[in-house]
């Protein structure tokens, strides 16, 4: 009978292991950061690293690049352990393996949300102004709490009833009150309060579906006796299906009148609560600028407001006299000095990489800058990476969440990347350009005889673009354009 031998023993072995430099992750983050984030990051570095200081304006180079001081041999020696081969890193795409959390501890600053009033605040203010009993006000608050940001009641009335009674039960238990002394709410009370909630501003709030939302808005306009109210109330399915002929026969009115009334209904708000949604708009500061100068397109970075960094001469002089410091102080000085060197170098590498990528985009997409979006050519991250000699993931980081100001407006860098289709001339055309052509064809079509998907295919084919009908249908859906039957007018 065989058994296992137990005990402690020592052995030697060889294995290959990759230790990830935490600064490599920081370099990746710097490439990824939009301009505003980078500015804030550099301001933070200036606060925590005494070896970094701002370059005075009178010391800036004419081309806008930061002044960089030459490190002494002693400083270079101290920095050798953290020296990076930037060209190799950019070409390899930062693919180093390992987990970021193992090598780097980050300070996290919780973003502060500015106080703003939302739909719920607006509704509760109105409820407080109504002449309601305390019992009705309690139920009204349950209603308001179940209205979503679109303005719709997000649950059934029986759920409202169940929720408010559970709350009554909880309050009774906390107050040690006999539940029999607190009468439960009934469905009659819930149904009676629903119309009260639905009369609040904005019109249509508290509706349980789109049809009810539209009826509430028409009712607020005192149009209960109108054709529009009748169409929504009794012919909603035909209305959303644009079945004008069926509706005309059913209600005994001309098809042209049905369409006119449908146009009136289309002006109502299908999501009234969004008027009070938080404003998520934000200002965009382009990271790059493309200008046309003497017939040539020139690319430069829009980093005029970004802090220019240089090594502090004062702290460098202090650091040279190492005999004054103990081991711990020497380590601190070496770390901060190396970090300052690295930061200046990393920022310059980021600048050069972004310029390389954008210069190639301008070269590739010159027809777009000259003639418009229909002349946008297909372009992939891999193509750019191969031309500029960098890894595809590096190009992806450079283009992500970055914007460029051009003679044709401020555009995200991702705008220039899209798949393509072949033409009969052997050229390629961008999918984005095809979409633009489809949109323009639909905009100028005869509303009484709209273009079918096959008709669009035929028109594009005449222009040399070979495309399948299902592809046209897909692009049309992405543009939010209805089918020919739904667009038809009489």
pLDDT tens digits, one per residue of 243-266: 888 888 988 899 889 888 998 998
Mean pLDDT of 374-386: 84
pLDDT at 198 over 90: yes
Top-confidence residue, 318 or 189 = 189
Mean pLDDT of 225-235: 92
pLDDT of residue 27: 66
Tokens of 463: 């222009």
Nearest 5°: CA angle at 288, between 282 and 293?
A: 130
pLDDT of residue 193: 93
pLDDT of residue 81: 44
Name the band, by pLDDT with cuts 50, 70 and 90, for residue 179.
Answer: low
Name the band, by pLDDT with cuts 50, 70 and 90, for residue 24.
Answer: low
pLDDT of residue 73: 38
Top-confidence residue, 438 or 340 = 438
Mean pLDDT of 135-149: 90
pLDDT at 47 over 70: yes
Q: Which residues of 63-78 are buried (b: 16+ CB within 10 A; e: fewer)?
A: eebbebeebeeebeeb
pLDDT at 194 over 90: yes
pLDDT at 214 over 90: yes
Name the band, by pLDDT with cuts 50, 70 and 90, for residue 215.
Answer: very high
pLDDT of residue 416: 87
DSSP helix/strand/coil, 439? helix
Residues 131, 52: Cα–Cα separation, whole Å: 65
Written as one string, the DSSP assignment of 125-166 is HHHHHS---HHHHHHHHHHHHTB-TTSBB-S-HHHHHHHHHH
Top-confidence residue, 26 or 381 = 381
Mean pLDDT of 31-59: 74
pLDDT at 110 over 60: no
pLDDT of residue 96: 47
Query: Where is average pLDDT lowest: 26-30, 108-112, 468-472?
Result: 108-112
DSSP helix/strand/coil, 401? coil
pLDDT tens digits, one per residue of 311-348: 777 676 666 666 666 666 667 777 777 777 777 787 88
pLDDT at 11 over 80: no
Residues 354, 370: Cα–Cα separation, whole Å: 22
CA 1 to chain centre: 67
pLDDT at 62 over 60: no
Mean pLDDT of 217-240: 91
Domain borders along the chain are: 20-97+281-417, 119-275, 420-487
The CATH architecture to which 420-487 belongs is Orthogonal Bundle (1.10)
Highest mean pLDDT out of 75-79, 178-182, 314-318: 314-318
Q: Are strands 403-406 and 288-293 parallel, antiparallel or unpaired?
A: parallel
Helix H or strand E encompassing 311: strand 309-311
Residues 489, 474: Cα–Cα separation, whole Å: 23
Mean pLDDT value across the chain: 78
Return left, alpha or beta for 89; rule: phi > 0 is left, psi -120 to 50 is alpha, else beta: alpha
pLDDT of residue 176: 66
| Long-range contacts of residues 350-354, Cβ cutoff 8 Å, at least 24 apart | 350/30, 350/31, 350/38, 351/65, 351/301, 351/303, 353/31, 353/90, 353/390, 353/394, 353/398, 354/287, 354/288, 354/301, 354/398, 354/402
pLDDT of residue 165: 86
Q: Decide if 75 contacts 329 (C-beta within 8 A).
A: no
Highest mean pLDDT out of 79-83, 181-185, 446-450: 446-450
pLDDT at 61 over 70: no
- Residue 242 CB neighbour total at 10 angstroms: 19
Closest by CA to 24, choosing from 89, 87, 80, is 89
pLDDT of residue 211: 94
Query: Where is average pLDDT lowest: 1-10, 128-137, 349-358?
Result: 1-10
Mean pLDDT of 42-57: 75
- Residue 61 CB neighbour total at 10 angstroms: 11
pLDDT of residue 41: 79
Helix axes 327-364, 392-399, angle to 10 degrees: 90
Half-sphere exposure (CA, 13 Å, Cβ side) for 445?
23
């Amino acid at each position: 009978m065989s058994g296992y031998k137990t005990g402690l023993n020592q052995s030697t072995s060889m294995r290959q292991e990759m230790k990830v430099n935490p600064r490599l992750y920081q370099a990746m983050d710097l490439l990824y950061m939009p301009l505003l984030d980078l500015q804030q990051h550099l301001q933070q570095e200036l606060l925590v690293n005494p070896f970094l200081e701002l370059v005075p304006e009178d010391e800036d180079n004419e081309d806008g690049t930061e002044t960089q001081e030459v490190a002494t041999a002693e400083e270079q020696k101290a920095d050798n352990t953290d020296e990076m081969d930037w060209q190799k890193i950019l070409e390899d795409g930062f693919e180093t393996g390992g987990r970021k959390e193992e090598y780097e501890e980050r300070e996290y600053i919780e973003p502060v949300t500015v106080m703003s009033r939302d739909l719920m605040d607006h509704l509760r203010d109105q409820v407080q102004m109504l002449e309601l009993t305390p019992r009705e006000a309690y139920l009204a608050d349950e209603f308001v709490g179940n209205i979503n940001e679109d303005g719709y009641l997000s649950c059934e009335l029986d759920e409202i009833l169940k929720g408010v009674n559970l709350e009554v039960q909880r309050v009774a238990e906390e107050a040690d009150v006999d539940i029999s002394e607190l009468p439960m709410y009934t469905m009659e009370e819930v149904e009676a309060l629903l119309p009260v909630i639905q009369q609040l501003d904005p019109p249509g709030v508290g509706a349980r579906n789109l049809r009810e939302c539209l009826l509430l808005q028409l009712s607020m306009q005192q149009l209960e006796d109108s054709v529009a109210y009748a169409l929504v109330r009794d012919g909603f399915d035909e209305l959303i299906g644009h079945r004008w002929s069926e509706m005309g026969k059913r209600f005994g009115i001309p098809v042209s009148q049905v369409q006119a009334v449908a146009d009136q209904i289309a002006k109502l708000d299908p999501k009234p609560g969004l008027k009070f949604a938080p404003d998520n708009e934000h200002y965009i500061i382009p990271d790059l600028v493309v200008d046309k100068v003497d017939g040539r397109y020139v690319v430069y970075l829009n980093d005029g407001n970004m802090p220019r960094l240089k090594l502090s001469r004062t702290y460098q002089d202090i650091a040279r006299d190492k005999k004054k410091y103990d081991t711990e102080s020497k380590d601190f000085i070496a770390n901060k000095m190396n970090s300052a060197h690295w930061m200046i170098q990393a920022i310059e590498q980021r600048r050069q990489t972004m310029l390389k990528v954008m210069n190639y985009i301008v070269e590739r997409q010159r027809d777009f800058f000259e003639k418009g979006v229909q002349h946008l050519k297909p372009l992939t991250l891999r193509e750019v990476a191969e031309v500029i000699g960098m890894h595809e993931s590096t190009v992806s980081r450079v283009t992500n969440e970055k914007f460029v100001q051009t003679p044709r407006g401020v555009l995200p860098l991702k705008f220039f990347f899209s798949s393509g289709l072949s033409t009969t001339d052997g050229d390629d055309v961008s999918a984005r350009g095809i979409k633009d052509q489809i949109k323009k064809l639909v905009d100028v079509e005869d509303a009484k005889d709209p273009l079918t998907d096959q008709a669009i295919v035929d028109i594009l084919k005449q222009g040399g673009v070979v495309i399948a009908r299902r592809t046209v249908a897909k692009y049309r859906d992405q543009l939010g354009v209805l089918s020919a039957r739904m667009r038809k007018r009489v």
